[in-house]
Structure 1
């Protein structure tokens, strides 16, 4: 099992629009998370060294779930490259160890998301790599569902 998820998608949208979907909190809330999840909180200071705190939530008659993530922006090179760290946290932004969240032994406390955008034939190609999240896990499935939602908003190519 590879210790990173790498997903490539193409969108029928200008690169600036795809960049905005990753960096504008209101737009990020419109697509992020697996199907059935909403993003009630997206606090994003998209500057190098800036912090982010995201809440993904789902509520059905049978189940209620809320997950919080925090991190730091390491690279902000509009509109081509965005790199940020991600850790599970409590609602106040305090990092919670994966072990305390019931995750398997060896799950990293900090992972890193890299988003690379380029223009090809009038479309935007996005390559997202999430280092520290193994391929073939629910994390990869969640990303794919989120990108399906993103494609629905932008126009999948």
Structure 2
């Protein structure tokens, strides 16, 4: 696949991460509601499967709501697919209401590339632009989410 990732700026989150699972399985955990619900969101949240709707086509939606475990508050994300190249690339535009006091996110771009390494998958995630505070919270949220995903894949291997 040709590298289509645009330049990373200081207002973007850029993460490269490997998972102990084949690319097709990692893809499913991003594109199927029952799998996405099992890992998406920072440690202090859950993403109930009933809040997730995915229409996996360009122009389709990837919508969900994270629930704050302490308060029960919901933080919805309304997302539109721009580009889909199964199972190697997703690009989305996110619009969401106030995200835990950090303000509304509008026209936020999320790009995820899934690199095939046999029994492992490396992803590159590029998301932005953010304010400094939003950037830090988003990076932390992704890292916490990926720890959950690692645990799921570790359990599947045992």
TM bin (shorter chain): 0.7 to 0.9
1:13-60 Cα deviation digits (max 9, x unpaired): 110000000001110111000013111211111110002221100232
Q: 2:88 maps to what in 1? A: 80
Runs of 5+ unmatched residues, structure 2: 1-8
Task: Please report how far the alpha carbon of residue 101 of structure 1 lies from its aligned counterpart in structure 2 after TM superposition.
Answer: 7.7
Q: 8 Å contact 1:10–1:124 — kept in the other structure?
A: yes
Inter-CA distance 122–52: structure 2 relative to 1 (3 Å threshold): closer
Structure 1 CA distance for aligned equivalents of residues 101 and 39 of structure 2: 26
What does 1:47-66 align with in structure 2 at a 5 Å threshold? 47-60=57-70, 63-66=71-74
Structure 2 CA distance for aligned equivalents of residues 6 and 132 of structure 1: 11
TM (norm. structure 1) is 0.81
More helix per residue: 1 or 2? 2
- Structure with higher RCO (Cα < 8 A, 6+ apart): 1
Q: Which 4+ residue blocks in structure 1 deviate beyond 2 angstroms?
A: 100-104, 133-136
Structure 2 CA distance for aligned equivalents of residues 126 and 140 of structure 1: 14
Q: 8 Å contact 1:10–1:126 — kept in the other structure?
A: yes
Structure 1 CA distance for aligned equivalents of residues 27 and 14 of structure 2: 18
TM (norm. structure 2) is 0.80
Structure 2 CA distance for aligned equivalents of residues 19 and 155 of structure 1: 16
Q: 1:95 maps to what in 2? A: none
Inter-CA distance 38–102: structure 2 relative to 1 (3 Å threshold): closer
Larger CA deviation: 15-24 vs 132-141? 132-141
Task: Please report how far the alpha carbon of residue 120 of structure 1 lies from its aligned counterpart in structure 2 after TM superposition.
Answer: 2.6
Q: 8 Å contact 1:5–1:134 — kept in the other structure?
A: no
